[in-house]
């Protein structure tokens, strides 16, 4: 560890990485990012970055999460109250609801503690609890409104304290508790001072002078004395309180020790995660700090998520970022870095949930990226509901489900209408890549051959203008055989059709019997040919499957 003037942060596990990202966001908010030198997967930080860090930490928290707080919901009612027409009965009822909501907020322990902090840190003669008592007794609605406006203006004036109280108990304590301003004995103390005392001052002292090195930090490996060390017990769902329980360690010797640097970094984890309601999501990409920042920039997703974290949309964004980066490197003729697994972590009140985008999946997505891209914003209607084909295909891909239920739906929806069929070639190609192994290359020619056979049979019927409807009946029977996964029934239908027309059946039909996976892929490819109107020789120019290995 560099002494005195700088310290280094290296990407590691997901929670520490979220802390590093949160730490950087604090400095970014304070416009101090120039005090950090980013070097691939590590940050070299100048000690000056810690000046006023407690203030910057609280300010960054309020800036990031203010909109999703009770404080904000209450203050937003100010303009509404001032324009409320109290002559209307529904307005009187709405006023009553606001009174009840405000009284409930100020009677909460967190807001009571916030007022105690206001009294200590601000010169203020106004007592909001006098107004709360007045609202309980006053019946005249105009006076109620006047007092409510005054009360909400008080809240607005003391935004940082009340807003931070909401954030503490709905965002921060999802990740950590019991220390600093979340220690029960400190609820009525100045929030910034408590954070500074517990996290910042010890780190400054550690950088200036190290004591006897009794331990090594479990996270970064820095030497740390017993008096300067910290337990991980304050971290929810990951830490062990070694002061209370050491029986889990070899010979009762606890080694889950944190140095002051890592202790502070973990406290920033709530800013590294994107927290909506009481749930958070974080993308752990260890390839570089810049990619970590890029993958966790979720501004465009927050409105869609509302109060529910949509892990699928986050994964979709991560994959898009990966593709954009690899495509840019390819354009610049730079070497594409070896792909590594990427984790998408969802945090609820009581647990972490890990979802992994594996190296294999990223490689498949890279190979089939044109097929995925051509499905973006493609829709299908089922029972008057619009289904996003891309979202379904991506979800199936990430959850290791095959695509045949969706393909069956598209085919059945297009028995009479020729909509959507053009999407199936992309979906089948994605399915081929997912089968992996020898199938990726070996099935390429067979898929083309059997689809051309379907097209040829279609032309045979449609060129004469007779019995064209028989093709659709034939398709419907074939779909039923696929749904039942009956190779025998499918082959019987095929040979019956070809013998009835005195046509030779292509040798590709023999491949249908290879195994269930090959059967379902080739059988659907055959149906795609039966439903495709373009001529075989036009395939290369008319949007047929593009095979890129």
The pLDDT tens digits of the residues spanning 434-459 come to 988 777 777 888 898 999 998 888 88
Candidates 229, 267, 204, 279; CA nearest to 19 is 267
Read off the pLDDT of residues 87-116 as tens digits, 9 standing for 90 and up.
Answer: 787 888 888 899 999 999 999 999 999 999
Spatial contact of 287 and 293, defined as CB atoms under 8 Å apart: no
Read off the pLDDT of residues 370-414 as tens digits, 9 standing for 90 and up.
Answer: 898 888 888 887 777 888 888 889 888 888 899 999 999 888 877
209 by Cβ neighbours in 10 Å (0-12 / 13-18 / 19+) ranks as: exposed
pTM for this predicted structure: 0.76
CA atoms within 13 A on the CB side of 30: 24
Q: Which residues contact 515 (CB under 8 A, 6 or more apart)?
A: none
pLDDT at position 370:
87
What mean pLDDT comes out for the span 191-214?
90
pLDDT at position 458:
86
What mean pLDDT comes out for the span 304-319?
68
How far apart are the C-alpha atoms of 310 and 281, rounded to whole Å?
9
Taking CA 498 as the corner, what is the angle to CA 495 and CA 502, rounded to the nearest 5 degrees? 130
Which helix (H) or strand (E) is 346 found in, with range?
strand 342-347
Spatial contact of 44 and 37, defined as CB atoms under 8 Å apart: yes
Spatial contact of 173 and 237, defined as CB atoms under 8 Å apart: no
pLDDT at 533 over 90: no
Q: Which two tokens stand for residue 132?
A: 């709360």
pLDDT at position 247:
46
Which range has the top average pLDDT, 98-107, 234-243, 469-478? 98-107
pLDDT at position 308:
62
Tell me the pairing of strands 279-284 and 342-347.
antiparallel
pLDDT at position 82:
79
Read off the pLDDT of residues 152-170 as tens digits, 9 standing for 90 and up.
Answer: 999 999 999 999 999 999 9
pLDDT at position 203:
96
How far apart are the C-alpha atoms of 413 and 490, rounded to whole Å?
20
Question: 38 - beta bridge partners?
Answer: 43
What mean pLDDT comes out for the span 180-187?
96
How far apart are the C-alpha atoms of 317 and 321, rounded to whole Å?
6
Between the CA atoms of 296, 297, 300 and 303, what dihedral angle is there, to the nearest 10 degrees? Answer: 60
Task: Give the pLDDT band (50/70/90) at residue 545.
Answer: very low
pLDDT at 367 over 80: yes
Number of other residues whose CB lies within 10 A of the CB of residue 225: 14
3-state SS assignment for residue 176: strand
Return mean pLDDT, the chain. 84
Instruction: Show me where the domains of the chain are located.
Output: 274-367, 372-541
pLDDT at 355 over 90: no
pLDDT at 515 over 60: yes
| H-type alpha helices, 465-486 | 469-483
Higher pLDDT, 241 or 368: 368
Taking CA 126 as the corner, what is the angle to CA 121 and CA 127, rounded to the nearest 5 degrees? 90
Which range, of 48-57, 129-138, 241-250, 302-311, averages the lowest pLDDT? 241-250
pLDDT at 492 over 90: yes
Spatial contact of 134 and 160, defined as CB atoms under 8 Å apart: no
Higher pLDDT, 189 or 279: 189
pLDDT at position 356:
82
Spatial contact of 180 and 235, defined as CB atoms under 8 Å apart: no
């Amino acid at each position: 560890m560099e002494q005195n003037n700088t310290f280094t942060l290296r990407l590691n596990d997901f929670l520490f990485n979220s802390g590093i990202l949160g730490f950087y966001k604090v400095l970014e908010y304070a416009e101090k990012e120039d005090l950090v030198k980013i070097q691939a997967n590590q940050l070299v930080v100048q000690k000056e970055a810690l000046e006023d860090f407690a203030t910057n930490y609280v300010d960054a928290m309020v800036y990031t999460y203010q909109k999703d707080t009770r404080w904000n919901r209450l203050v937003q009612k100010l303009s509404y109250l001032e324009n409320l027409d109290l002559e209307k009965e529904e307005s009187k009822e709405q006023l009553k609801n606001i009174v009840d909501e405000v009284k409930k907020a100020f009677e909460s322990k967190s807001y009571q503690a916030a007022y105690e902090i206001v009294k200590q840190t601000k010169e203020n003669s106004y007592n909001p609890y006098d107004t709360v008592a007045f609202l309980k007794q006053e019946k005249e609605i105009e006076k109620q409104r006047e007092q409510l406006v005054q009360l909400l203006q008080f809240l607005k004036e003391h935004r940082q304290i009340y807003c931070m109280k909401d954030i503490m108990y709905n965002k921060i304590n999802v990740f950590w508790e019991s220390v600093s301003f979340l220690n029960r004995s400190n609820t009525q103390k100045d929030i910034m001072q408590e954070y500074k005392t517990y996290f910042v001052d010890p780190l400054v002292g550690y950088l200036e002078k190290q004591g006897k090195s009794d331990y090594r930090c479990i996270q970064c490996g820095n030497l740390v004395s017993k008096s300067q060390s910290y337990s991980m017990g304050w971290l929810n769902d990951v830490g062990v309180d070694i002061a209370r329980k050491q029986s889990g360690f070899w010979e009762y010797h606890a080694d889950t020790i944190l140095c002051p640097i890592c202790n502070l970094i973990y406290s920033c984890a709530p800013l590294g995660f994107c927290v909506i309601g009481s749930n958070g999501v974080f993308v752990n990409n260890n390839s570089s700090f810049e990619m970590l920042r890029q993958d966790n920039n979720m501004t465009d997703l927050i409105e869609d998520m509302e109060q529910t974290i949509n892990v699928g949309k986050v994964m979709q964004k991560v994959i898009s970022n990966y593709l954009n980066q690899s495509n840019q490197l390819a354009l610049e003729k730079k070497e594409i870095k070896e792909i590594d697994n990427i984790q998408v972590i969802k945090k609820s009140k009581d647990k972490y949930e890990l979802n992994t985008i594996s190296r294999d999946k990223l490689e498949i997505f890279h190979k089939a990226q044109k097929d995925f891209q051509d499905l973006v914003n493609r829709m299908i209607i089922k029972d008057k509901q619009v289904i996003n084909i891309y979202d379904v295909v991506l979800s199936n891909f990430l959850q290791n489900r095959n695509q045949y239920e969706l393909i069956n739906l598209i085919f059945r929806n297009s028995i009479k209408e020729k909509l959507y069929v053009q999407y199936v070639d992309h979906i089948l190609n994605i399915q081929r890549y997912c089968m992996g192994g020898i199938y990726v290359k070996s099935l390429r020619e067979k898929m083309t051959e059997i689809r051309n056979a379907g097209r040829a049979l279609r032309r045979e019927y449609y060129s004469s203008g007779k019995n064209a409807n028989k093709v659709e009946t034939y398709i419907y029977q074939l779909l039923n055989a696929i749904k039942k996964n009956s190779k025998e029934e499918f082959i019987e239908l095929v040979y019956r059709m070809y013998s009835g027309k005195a046509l030779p059946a292509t040798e590709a039909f023999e491949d249908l019997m290879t195994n269930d996976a090959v059967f379902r892929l080739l059988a659907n490819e055959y149906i795609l040919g039966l439903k495709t109107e373009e001529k075989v020789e036009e395939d290369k120019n008319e949007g047929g499957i593009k095979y890129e290995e």
